[in-house]
Amino acid sequence: MQRYFVSETGWGTNEVTILGEDVHHINRVMRYKEGANIICNHPDGRAAICELLVITADSVQAEIKQWLNENVELPIQVTVAQGLPKGDKLELILQKGTELGAYAFIPFQAERSIVNWDKKKQEKKLIRFNKIVKEASEQSHRNQIPTIYSTITVERLIEESSKYDVKLYAYEEQAKVSDYKSFGTVLENVTITDKILICIGPEGGFSPKEAEKLNDNGFQAIRLGPRILRTETAALYALASISYHFEELRCDS
Amino acid sequence: MQRYFVSETGWGTNEVTILGEDVHHINRVMRYKEGANIICNHPDGRAAICELLVITADSVQAEIKQWLNENVELPIQVTVAQGLPKGDKLELILQKGTELGAYAFIPFQAERSIVNWDKKKQEKKLIRFNKIVKEASEQSHRNQIPTIYSTITVERLIEESSKYDVKLYAYEEQAKVSDYKSFGTVLENVTITDKILICIGPEGGFSPKEAEKLNDNGFQAIRLGPRILRTETAALYALASISYHFEELRCDS
C-alpha cells in the first residue's frame, strides 16, 4: 500500500488532509479514486490505513480507518556526518542511507572537501535533499523521515558531537594497518540506547590534522573492512553493518 | 601507491609490460616519470611493487622490485546474481559490489526485469562493466578483479546454482513477515570455505512463481533488515553484512 508522510497540521481526529506534491502523486501518478486505501505516516512515527474520501486537484481528504502497530525503524539512533563529496554523491548517500535506517545526516565541510556551497545554494540543496529522504522513507516503509542538518565546519561538528554516546570516524589508514580496531569490537560495546555519530570523510578522507582533532575529542577511528571504500560507500557499509548487527544477528539482539 | 592490474602476458620474470589504457593513465593522468614506483597486480592475486623503467606513448616497462604479502580479498567467495535493473543501476551495483569484495556477478533476466539487451548491446555493456570493476578493484586495492558473466535466464541461473554451497535470495515478503529468517542466523551456519550465491530481484523483486522455483531448488529466502530496500541497495547490504560478519566481527572470525 502506498505511503505518504503527512505533516502535523494535516491530522484531524478521524481525518487526514493531504496537500502539496502528494496530491499530484495520488491523482496523477497512482490515479487513486475515492474509496482507495493508503497508509499515512504521522510525524510522531505512527502510521494509519486511511480511506480516500475526497480527491480534488489541490487537496485530498482521507478517513483514518485503522492505526497500524508497526515499526521498521533501526532500533539504534545512527547519525551520519558526511564530509561534502563531489557531484551528486551526497544525494546517493542520503537516499541509500535513509533506506538503511539512518536517523539523521550532518553534511560538513572537511579540509579535503572540494565543493563549497554558498548560503543560496545550501538552501536549494536542502529542499532537494529533504525531498530525496522523504521519498526514500516512503519507499522503504519507514516510520520516520531522517533529519538533514545544514552544512557545518569540523570544529562545529566536534562541538555537536558532545550530544552523542558513541563517536566514530572512518579512517582509511585503519584499513591499511594490522592492529586496527575492528568495527565489530566497537559495536559489541554499543547498547541499543546509545546515540551513534559516525563521521565519514570526503574523497581523500580526513586529513591527519582532522584525525588528530577527532581523536582528541573522544572519536574512535574505525575501519570498515580491509578494502579502501569510496566515500559514498563507507556510510552505506557502516549503516548496513549496524542494521545487520542489531536487526539480523540474533546473538546480539 | 597507484595500482594496475596487468594481464598474464604482461608478466616476465623480473619485468612487467603494461599496455592499453593504463599507459595513458601512467603517462597523462599520474604523469609518472621513469624511477617512480607503482603496484602491479597479477591475475593470480599476487601483487608487486614495480619501478618504472621505460615509459613510451603505447607501453610501459617496469621492474619487479618486491612481491607484496598482502590480501584484502573477502575471505569467503560471494557471487551476486542481480536481476537486470533499470537505467545504470547495474553499474552502481558492480562498482560498489567490487569495493565491498564480491567475487563475481551474474546478471539475469527476471520476470519483472523491464530491460532486455540484445546480443550487440550485451557485448558493449560487458566491455563497460569490466572497465568499471577493474577500476573499482584498483581503487579499493583488491588483489582480484571480479568476474562478470553474461546475462542468463532464471532457469539457467538455477542450473548454475548447483556449483554453490549456500544459495540465498532476497525476498521482499521476508522483510514484511514476523517469522522471517534472519540473515544473521543464515551466516552463522556458513563456513569460510562455502561458496555463496546471493540472488537479488530487479525493481519489484521476484515474482511468486520465481520465488517458488528458487525455494524448490534449495535457495533460502532471506530478509536484509526490516526496511524495503531498492534493488541496487540490497546487494550492497548483503555484501557489507558478509564483510562485517567475516572480517570485522571478531567473535565470528
Q: How confident is the model at residue A250 (pLDDT cuts 50, 70, 90)?
A: low
Q: Return d(Cα A52, Cα A15) in angstroms, integer.
A: 10
What CATH number should be reported for the domain holding residue A238? 3.40.1280.10
CB nearest B72 (choices: A101, A183, A226)? A226
CB nearest A241 (choices: B92, B185, B240)? B240
pLDDT tens-digit profile of A169-182? 998 776 666 666 78
Asked whether residue A231 is assigned to any structural domain, the reply reads yes
The shares of helix, strand and coil residues in chain B, as percent rounded to the nearest 5, are 40, 25, 40
Q: Using a CB-CB distance cutoff of 8 angstroms, which residues of chain B are in contact with residue A225?
A: 100-101, 240, 243-244, 247-248
Backbone angle region of A8, left / alpha / beta, with phi > 0 → left and psi within -120 to 50 → alpha: alpha
Asked whether residue B253 is assigned to any structural domain, the reply reads no
* The residue count for chain A: 253
**Four-CA torsion B15, B20, B25, B27, nearest 10 degrees:** 70
B250, A182: Cβ pair inside 8 Å?
Answer: yes
Q: Return d(Cα B238, Cα A244) in angstroms, integer.
A: 9
Same domain, A57 and A178: no
CB atoms within 10 A of CB A156: 14
Q: Using a CB-CB distance cutoff of 8 angstroms, which residues of chain A are in contact with residue B97?
A: none
A251, B224: Cβ pair inside 8 Å?
Answer: no
B9-20 exposure pattern, b = at least 16 Cβ within 10 A, e = fewer: ebbeeeebbbee
B225, A237: Cβ pair inside 8 Å?
Answer: no
Low-confidence ranges of chain B (pLDDT < 70): 174-180, 250-253
Residue A75, chain B, CB below 8 Å: the answer is no
Same domain, B9 and B127: no
Q: Which distant-in-sequence residues (6+ apart) come within 8 Å of B26 by Cβ?
A: B2, B4, B18, B32, B38, B52, B55, B60
Task: Tell which of A98, A168, A187, A248 to mutate to test the B interface (max B CBs under 10 Å).
Answer: A248
Q: What is the pLDDT of residue B252?
A: 39
DSSP H or E segment with residue A4:
strand A3-5
Residue B178: DSSP 8-state: S
Q: Which distant-in-sequence residues (6+ apart) come within 8 Å of A31 by Cβ?
A: none
Q: What is the pLDDT of residue A178?
A: 63
Q: What is the pLDDT of residue B67?
A: 93
Q: Return d(Cα A217, Cα A161) in angstroms, integer.
A: 9
Asked whether residue B57 is assigned to any structural domain, the reply reads yes
pTM for the whole structure: 0.90
Q: What is the pLDDT of residue B172?
A: 79
Same domain, A176 and A64: no
Q: What is the pLDDT of residue A114?
A: 92
Q: Return d(Cα B127, Cα B121) in angstroms, integer.
A: 10
Nearest CA in chain A to B172: A140
Same domain, A11 and A97: no
Q: What is the pLDDT of residue B250?
A: 58
- Give how far Cα A86 sits from Cα of A114, A115, A126, A233, Å: 7, 6, 16, 13
The set of cell numbers assigned to A197 is 555519530
Same domain, B117 and B240: yes
DSSP H or E segment with residue A79:
strand A77-83
CB nearest A184 (choices: B139, B140, B248)? B248
Q: What is the pLDDT of residue B116?
A: 83
- Give how far Cα A244 sits from Cα of A69, A123, A227, A252, B249, Å: 23, 34, 19, 10, 11
Asked whether residue A25 is assigned to any structural domain, the reply reads yes
Q: Which of residues 164-183 of B touch A (CB under 8 A)?
A: 175, 182-183
Q: Using a CB-CB distance cutoff of 8 angstroms, which residues of chain A are in contact with residue B132?
A: none
Backbone phi, then psi, for A150, in 5-degree steps? -70, 160
Identity of the residue numbered B111: E
Rounded to 10 deg, the angle between the A231-243 and B231-243 helix axes is 70
Residue A185, chain B, CB below 8 Å: the answer is yes
pLDDT greater than 50 at residue A35:
yes
Backbone phi, then psi, for A238, in 5-degree steps? -60, -50
User: Are the C-beta atoms of residues A248 and B225 closer than 8 Å to each other?
Assistant: yes
What CATH number should be reported for the domain holding residue A41? 2.40.240.20
Asked whether residue A64 is assigned to any structural domain, the reply reads yes
Q: What is the pLDDT of residue B8?
A: 93
Provide the CA B150 distance to its chain's centre, in angstroms: 14
Backbone phi, then psi, for B65, in 5-degree steps? -95, -40
Same domain, A134 and A46: no
Asked whether residue A253 is assigned to any structural domain, the reply reads no
B243, A229: Cβ pair inside 8 Å?
Answer: no
ipTM: 0.88
Q: Return d(Cα A42, Cα A48) in angstroms, integer.
A: 8
Residue B133: DSSP 8-state: H
Same domain, A233 and A137: yes
- How many domains is chain A built from? 2
Q: What is the pLDDT of residue B251?
A: 46
Same domain, A32 and A125: no
Our CA-based measurement puts residue B95 at a distance from the nearest CA of chain A, in whole angstroms, of 10
Our CA-based measurement puts residue A248 at a distance from the nearest CA of chain B, in whole angstroms, of 5
User: Are the C-beta atoms of residues A166 and A190 closer than 8 Å to each other?
Assistant: yes
| Domain-terminating residue out of B11, B43, B68 | B68
Q: What is the mean pLDDT of residues A73-85?
A: 97
Structural domain boundaries enclosing A102: 77-248
pLDDT tens-digit profile of A42-57? 988 889 999 999 999 9
A227, B141: Cβ pair inside 8 Å?
Answer: yes
Same domain, A118 and A193: yes
Same domain, A41 and A151: no
User: Are the C-beta atoms of residues A39 and A2 closer than 8 Å to each other?
Assistant: yes
User: Are the C-beta atoms of residues B25 and B55 closer than 8 Å to each other?
Assistant: no
Nearest CA in chain B to A96: B233
Q: Using a CB-CB distance cutoff of 8 angstroms, which residues of chain B are in contact with residue A140?
A: 227-230
Q: Which distant-in-sequence residues (6+ apart) come within 8 Å of B71 by Cβ?
A: B45, B143
pLDDT greater than 50 at residue A251:
no
Q: B3-5 and B37-41 as β-strands: parallel, antiparallel, unpaired? A: parallel
Same domain, B160 and B36: no
- Positive or negative torsion for Cα B28, B31, B32, B33: positive
Coil, helix or strand for B102?
coil
pLDDT tens-digit profile of B14-73? 999 999 999 999 999 899 999 999 999 998 888 999 999 999 999 999 999 999 988 899
Share of chain A above pLDDT 90, in %: 84
Same domain, A99 and A214: yes
